[in-house]
Amino acid sequence: MIEIKDLHKSYKMGSNSLHVLKGINFRAEEGELVAIMGSSGSGKSTLLNILGMLDGADSGEYTLDGVPIKDLSETKAAQYRNKFLGFVFQSFNLINYKSALENVALPLYYQGVPRKERQEKALKYLERVGLKEWATHLPSELSGGQKQRVAIARAMAAEPKVLLADEPTGALDSTTSYEVMDLIQKINDDGNTILVVTHEEDIAHMCKRIVYLKDGVIVEDKKVKQVRADHYV
C-alpha cells in the first residue's frame, strides 16, 4: 500500500541546513496498523507530512497504492489527499463554525458528492463513532474525545486508502485516549490501513507494528502483539 525508498528531507534554517530524514525505507501493506515512534525531533512528524503529501521530499521514492507521488502540483496534491488519505490531528482541527455533521461532510463536498447523499453518508460515519445525537452540535460544544471522534469520522468519510493520525491521543486524558484507540482499532479491523504517530508506549502497543525513528533513520521495526484498547475502556 505504502512504499518508501531512501527518503531524504532537510530544512533550511538560515544558513544552516537541518537534515531531518536521512534515508528512510519503509513498506506498509494493506490492513496494517503501524505506530511510528520516536522522541521529538526524530523526524516522525516530517515523515507523516511527506506521507500525507502536505510536504515534499528532497529525494527518494514514494508510492501510494501503486501511484508514484512525485512533483505534485497543489491541485493534484489536493486531489490525491482527498482520494487517498484521511487525516487525524492532535489538535482535532475541526472547523469551529461548522456543526459536527458539516465537518464530517466536508471531504465529501470536495469530492463533489451531492448534498443529500453527503449528509446521509456523514451521518452514517458519525453513527459509527457513536455521535449521531451530536450531529448538529458545534465543536465548541463537544468534549475533547468527542472532537477527536468527529475528526476520525471526517477522516473516514471520504473512504481513504490510508488513515494518517498525528498524535491522535496527544491532547486527551488516558481514558479518552483508549476510547479513541479502540475506535482506531475497530476501523483497522474493517481492513483499513492506518499509520499512527505517537510517543506514548502504551498507545504504540495498541498497534500491530511499531517503527522506531531516531535522528532521521529507522532504528527498529517490529511486529507486536496488539493490546486491545477495549480492555481499558
Alpha-carbon distances, residue 92 vs 17, 101, 149, 213, 219 (angstroms): 31, 15, 9, 24, 29
Shortest reach from residue 92's CB to other proteins, in Å: 10
The terminus-to-terminus CA distance of the chain in angstroms comes to 31
- Residue 107 near other proteins by CB under 8 A: yes
Q: Quick count: other Cβ atoms within 10 Å of Cβ 221?
A: 15
Among 31, 110, 137, 186, binds other proteins (CB under 8 A): 110
**Least Å from the CB of residue 78 to other proteins:** 5
Give residues with Cβ within 8 angstroms of 217, minimum separation 6.
Answer: 22, 23, 24
Using the rule CB under 8 A, is 115 a contact of other proteins? yes
Nearer to other proteins, 79 or 226 (CB): 79
What's the closest the beta carbon of residue 106 comes to other proteins, in angstroms? 6
Residue 154 is a binding residue for other proteins (CB under 8 A): yes
State the DSSP string of 147-193: HHHHHHHHHHHT--SEEEEESTTTTS-HHHHHHHHHHHHHHHHTT-E
Kindly tell me which residue out of 13, 14, 16, 97 binds other proteins, with binding defined by CB under 8 A.
Answer: 97
Q: Which run of H or E residues covers position 128?
A: helix 115-128
- Binding to other proteins by CB under 8 A, coded x per residue (else -) over 50-79, reads --x-xx------------------xx--xx
Closest separation between CB of residue 27 and other proteins, Å? 24
Could you say which of 6, 67, 68, 95 contacts other proteins (CB under 8 A)?
A: 95
In 3D space, the residue among 144, 230, 126 whose CA is nearest the CA of residue 181 turns out to be 230
Pick 163 or 229: Cβ nearer other proteins: 163
- Specify the DSSP class assigned to residue 139: G
Q: Which residues bind other proteins (CB under 8 A)?
A: 49, 52, 54-55, 74-75, 78-79, 81-83, 87, 89, 93-95, 97, 106-107, 109-111, 115, 154, 158
